């Protein structure tokens, strides 16, 4: 009685997240419908909403699950810049997630949006992780002292986001090579007097 | 156009005028209220039309959105033209963007929608827009080289791309958190790119 229903609920939740991702990957955020997601997982819309209170919560949880997985795959025990590049390289294998991320983060940028807080927290988390990357690289001597950490972090995050948009427009864009170039520039400047 | 031929010049000119009046109103509405929700209805109300009446001037939501972005770009070009040549024009436009979050939001959300859909009718519009922006930024690189701000080996297409992706990415960060100074961040990136252009020869990564 204890384990069963809980495990079943979790399995259904996982199934819903995975189907939601498929539907968004094919149709985009604006046109993906709760009804289609519900149908594909064999639930009514009310049944779907029992697991996720809204469309926004559903998409947010798809992205959160992705972050947790990426973190385990690429950032353990501590994030490194190579781990960050590995996440970006992996993104090129999952265009549906990139599409969801790019569309939903833009949609959620208005303050009243239900996922606004999620993205704010996510950026804070990402900035903190990248600040740590730079500080550890400095400690290891890989990066010099002359670097404005918060500017470097904002620009790395911005480039990663902007590159995903460009990559959706044109899959031949090499996101990792471009980011590596930006990182090389940050490293080169950090040694400047 | 519509079934009724706009045969006389007068009627055509009137249509054009009405269209540009609608677009100006759209920019005001979006700058004030953002682009969420009842956007087309809000624009129609502002110019005293029904939604159907408004959509008589634009074949589709996509045509309306592209026309709005185009009109905004034309306004921005006027900002560009008032500043000294070079990157300061681009930075002035970004600084101006910080006054009109609704327009930045519309652009960010619509650009994302278009990029996500390989069959989106507005793809060509955005491709041309990015190409034009890349050209303009490459021109800024050449100007910086001529003035000695950038080294002779600066790779203009790569620098243009770096400015574009950073500007796009910063918009979303800034919309979420207005403390971020987009123009200052881009100025820092430009300075870094200037400094890097005097370094060793190009690192050769293919881009």
Residue ending a domain, choose from A15, A32, A52? A52
| A7 and A60 co-located in one domain | no
Q: Residue A136's domain spans which residues? A: 55-190
**End position of a domain, from candidates A33, A52, A71:** A52
* B22 or B9: which leads in pLDDT: B22
pLDDT of residue B3: 45
Name the minimum distance, in Å, from the CA of A63 to any CA of chain B. 16
Q: What is the mean pLDDT of chain B?
A: 86
Of the three residues B58, B82, B101, the one that is the final residue of a domain is B58
Q: What integer pLDDT is reported at residue A5 of this predicted model?
A: 57
Q: Which has more confidence, B84 or B18?
A: B18
Same domain, B81 and B53: no
For position A6, what pLDDT does the model report?
61
- Residue A27 is predicted with a pLDDT of 85
Which residue from B108, B166, B177 is facing A106, i.e. has the nearest CB? B108
> B72 near B27, Cβ under 8 Å?
yes
Shared domain for A46 and A60, answered yes or no, is: no
- Does A26 share its domain with A121? no
Does A27 share its domain with A71?
no
**Claim to verify: residue A91 and residue A126 sit in the same structural domain:** yes
Of A52, A71, A95, the last residue of a domain is: A52
The tally of domains found in chain A comes to 2
Instruction: Say whether both B107 and B170 belong to one domain.
Output: yes
The structure's pTM equals: 0.88
Domain shared by A95 and A119, yes or no = yes
- Averaged pLDDT score across all residues of chain A: 90
Q: Are residues B78 and B54 in the same domain?
A: no
| Lowest mean pLDDT across A84-88, A103-107, A122-126, B28-32 | B28-32
List of chain B residues whose C-beta atoms are within 8 Å of the C-beta of residue A165: 111-112, 115, 165, 168-169
Alpha-carbon distance A68 to nearest alpha carbon in chain B (angstroms): 21
Q: Does B133 touch chain A (CB under 8 A)?
A: no
- Looking at the structure, tell me whether residues A10 and A105 fall in a common domain: no
Q: Which of A30, A155, A178 is opposite residue B189, by nearest beta carbon?
A: A155
**Residue A2 pLDDT greater than 60, yes or no:** no
Residues of A in contact with B116 (CB under 8 A): 28-29, 99, 102-103, 168
- Chains A & B: contacts with CB separation below 8 Å: 135
A102 with A179, same domain: the answer is yes
Specify the residue for token string 């495990």: A7
Q: Write down the pLDDT at residue B5.
A: 47
A53 at B interface, C-beta within 8 A = no
Does B166 touch chain A if contact means CB atoms closer than 8 Å?
yes
Residues B36 and B7 in one domain: yes
pLDDT at A65 over 80: yes
Confidence of residue B36 (pLDDT cuts 50, 70, 90): low
The tens digit of pLDDT for each residue in A139-179 reads 999 999 989 999 999 999 999 999 999 999 999 999 999 99
Residues B47-85 have pLDDT tens digits of 999 999 999 999 899 999 999 999 999 998 887 777 777
Same domain, B139 and B39: no
Domain that holds residue B33: 1-58
Say if residue A97 is in the same domain as residue A183. yes
Q: Is the pLDDT of residue A87 over 80?
A: yes
CATH number of the CATH domain containing A120: 1.10.357
| Pair B54, B76 in one domain | no
What is the model's pLDDT at position A193?
A: 52
Residues A98, A62, single domain; the answer is yes
Say yes or no to pLDDT of B94 above 50: yes
The CATH number assigned to the domain holding B92 equals 1.10.357.10
Chain A residues within 8 A of B175 when measuring between CB atoms: 106, 109-110
pLDDT digits (tens, 9 = 90+) for B128-184: 999 999 999 999 999 999 999 999 989 999 999 999 999 999 999 999 999 999 999
Q: What angle do CA A27, A28, A30 make, to 5 degrees?
A: 110
- Tell me, what CATH number does B11's domain have? 1.10.10
Are A82 and A17 part of one and the same domain? no
User: B164: which chain A residues are within 8 Å (Cβ-Cβ)?
Assistant: 162, 166
- Judge if B70 and B46 occupy the same domain: no
* ipTM score: 0.88
Chain A residues in contact with B196 by the CB 8 A cut-off are: 185, 188-189
* Whether residues B182 and B111 fall in one domain: yes
Cβ–Cβ below 8 Å for A109 and B175: yes
Do A93 and A142 lie in a common domain? yes
């Amino acid at each position: 009685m204890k384990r069963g229903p809980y495990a079943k609920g979790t399995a259904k939740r996982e199934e819903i997240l995975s189907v939601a991702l498929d539907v968004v990957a094919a149709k985009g955020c604006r046109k993906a419908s709760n009804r289609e997601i519900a149908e594909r997982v064999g639930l009514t819309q009310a049944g779907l909403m029992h697991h996720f209170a809204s469309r926004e919560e559903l998409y947010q949880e798809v992205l959160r699950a992705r972050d947790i997985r990426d973190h385990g795959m690429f950032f353990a025990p501590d994030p490194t810049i190579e781990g960050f590049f590995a996440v970006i390289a992996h993104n090129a294998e999952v265009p549906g997630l990139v599409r969801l991320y790019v569309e939903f983060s833009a949609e959620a940028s208005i303050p009243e949006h239900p996922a606004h807080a999620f993205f704010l927290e996510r950026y804070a988390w990402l900035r903190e992780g990248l600040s740590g990357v730079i500080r550890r690289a400095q400690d290891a001597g890989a990066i010099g002292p002359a670097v404005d950490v918060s500017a470097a972090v904002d620009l790395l995050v911005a480039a990663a986001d902007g590159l995903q948009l460009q990559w959706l427009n044109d899959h031949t864009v090499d996101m990792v090579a471009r980011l590596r170039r930006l990182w090389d520039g940050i490293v080169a400047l950090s040694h400047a007097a | 156009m519509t079934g009724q031929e706009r045969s006389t010049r007068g009627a055509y000119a009137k249509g054009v005028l009405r269209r540009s009046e609608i677009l100006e109103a759209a920019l005001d509405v979006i700058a004030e209220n953002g682009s969420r929700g009842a956007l087309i209805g809000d624009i129609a109300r502002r110019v005293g039309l029904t939604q159907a009446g408004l959509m008589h001037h634009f074949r589709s939501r996509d045509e309306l959105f592209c026309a709005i972005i185009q009109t905004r770009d034309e306004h921005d070009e006027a900002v560009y033209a008032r500043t000294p040549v070079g990157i300061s024009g681009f930075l002035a436009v970004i600084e101006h963007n910080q006054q009109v979050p609704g327009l930045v939001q519309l652009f960010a959300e619509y650009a994302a929608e278009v990029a996500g859909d390989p069959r989106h009718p507005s793809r060509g519009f955005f491709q041309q827009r990015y190409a034009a922006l890349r050209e303009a930024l490459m021109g800024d690189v050449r100007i910086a080289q001529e003035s000695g701000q950038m080294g002779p080996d600066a790779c203009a297409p790569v620098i243009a791309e770096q400015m574009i992706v950073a500007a796009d990415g910063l918009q979303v960060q800034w919309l979420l958190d207005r403390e971020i100074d987009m123009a200052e961040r881009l100025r820092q990136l430009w300075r870094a790119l200037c400094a890097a252009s005097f370094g060793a020869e190009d690192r050769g990564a293919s881009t």
